[in-house]
Amino acid sequence: MVFNSITFLVFFVLFFFTYWWVSRKGSVKTRNAWLIIGSYIFYGWWDWRFLSLIIISSLADFGLGISIFNSRSARGRKIALVASLLINLGLLGFFKYFNFFIESFARFLELFGLQPSISTLAIILPVGISFYTFQTMSYTIDIYRKKLEPTRSILQFMAFVSFFPQLVAGPIERATRFLPQFSNLKTFDYQRTVGGLRLVLWGFFKKVVIADNMGVVVNALYAQPENYPGWPMLLGAVLFAFQIYADFSGYSDIAIGLGRMLGFDLMTNFRKPYFSKSLTEFWHRWHISLSTWFRDYVYIPLGGNRKGRFRTDLNLLVTFVLSGLWHGASFTFVIWGFVHGLSLIAEKHLSIKKMPVWWVFLLCSLFWIPFRAQGLGHLKSIGVQLLKWPASFRLPAPIQEDVYRLSAVGFVLLIFIAIEKWMKEYDFNDFISRFSKPVRYLAYYLLVLLILGLGNYDVKPYFIYFQF
């Protein structure tokens, strides 16, 4: 079940009204139980069998969190923490990385002239497993660090892990901030609901008008890069930068808006990253919940910047390589993380604190190429084509076939960029709230018309980050 589908619309409308009825008539336990039921229905719509993974992760970390807190010895606390990490990383490693490591090992043996006969499994990647395992791991780690006391309510914890607005693609919430929100009853707030609806509307606009239309051209270019030397492949890189931003930040806006409509506050995940003046600033603005997770649970424990320049550089590079690997079981993601890590190290050594915004955006667009590439051979082919600049060129087929509509989308994209610049640090709800009622309603109607008129509904409803 995805946000941009009729199925989800029906589901959420029914859930929204029953949720507030339960909250008004029942107790906190009843409310949390209903949240769990709704979240499990939402997640189980893809494949009910994978619900067992969420349940296993939730029950294990609930019990181990209490064990860590109650243990009187440092050894006992460490054993419980290691058990939590092994369970979560074991699930993540098997479903996401088993085939990757088997195939990589086979290629390594081939370097020595060996011809191993290694078969891989037909393993299906459960949607959102990278997100909810990281969320539950942060819970036990924070208890171990004595930053958090464990909850004694299994319903509260399971609702925290499975909260459906952010279950499959974040934001990755910390228990220290988000878990306490499940301990009290919510009262319906009209203004919060309106604010949530504004974010949902803005998120849908970014997804179906910007991201899905950009995706049509991007998919055509990346499907046959050998046919598009020079500027078309550069155009593909730039359009993918807009596609992935509008797609993922659109999802986050919808998730935050839905959470707000249910009385919960989710953390901000994007702060206009393409207006950054350095790559370091970009990573302070892009996928903030993941960036801060890796900072707090990988970079700092490795030593951060406390052990000299070499170790600082190494820690930064390792963190970004692991971040790349988190995104997918492919060497292209490792390359993507490595390139970003190396670039941040270069910025620090060269004392680069400010660059032209367009230059940072162009670098980010080029760095997205390995992220989008379907393997090392595909990445090599794209790189070769980027270096070719023939005197003549032809438009990609999707642009030729729908040039007027895509031109209109391109114009809307320019307006979108201008609005994002105008919004500065505000989210759409805070930004639009500053205007008079007639202006606000005009904006709503225009967004709805753009969604209905220019939205791309020929593609299967999907969000890019569901694959991670």
Active site residue ranges: 327
**Three state DSSP letters for the chain:** CCCCCHHHHHHHHHHHHHHHHHHHHCCHHHHHHHHHHHHHHHHHCCCHHHHHHHHHHHHHHHHHHHHHHHCCCHHHHHHHHHHHHHHHHHHHHHHHHHHHHHHHHHHHHHCCCCCCCCCCCCCCCCCCHHHHHHHHHHHHHHHHCCCCCCCCCHHHHHHHHHCHHHCCCCCCCCHHHHHHHHCCCCCCCHHHHHHHHHHHHHHHHHHHHHHHHHHHHHHHHHHCHHHCCCHHHHHHHHHHHHHHHHHHHHHHHHHHHHHHHCCCCCCCCCCCHHHCCCHHHHHHHCCHHHHHHHHHHHHCCCCCCCCHHHHHHHHHHHHHHHHHHHHCCCHHHHHHHHHHHHHHHHHHHCCCCCCCHHHHHHHHHHHHHHHHCCCHHHHHHHHHHHCCCCCCCCCCHHHHHCHHHHHHHHHHHHHHHHHHHHHCCCCHHHHHCCCCHHHHHHHHHHHHHHHHHHCCCCCCCCCHHHHC
Q: Cα 115 vs. chain centroid, distance in angstroms?
A: 38
Closest residue by Cα to residue 367 from 237, 249, 274: 237
Q: Are 63 and 101 in contact (CB under 8 A)?
A: no
Q: What are phi and psi of 450, to 5 degrees?
A: -65, -40
Which residues have CB under 8 Å from 162's CB, separation 6+? Answer: 35, 36, 39, 40, 43, 54, 58, 132
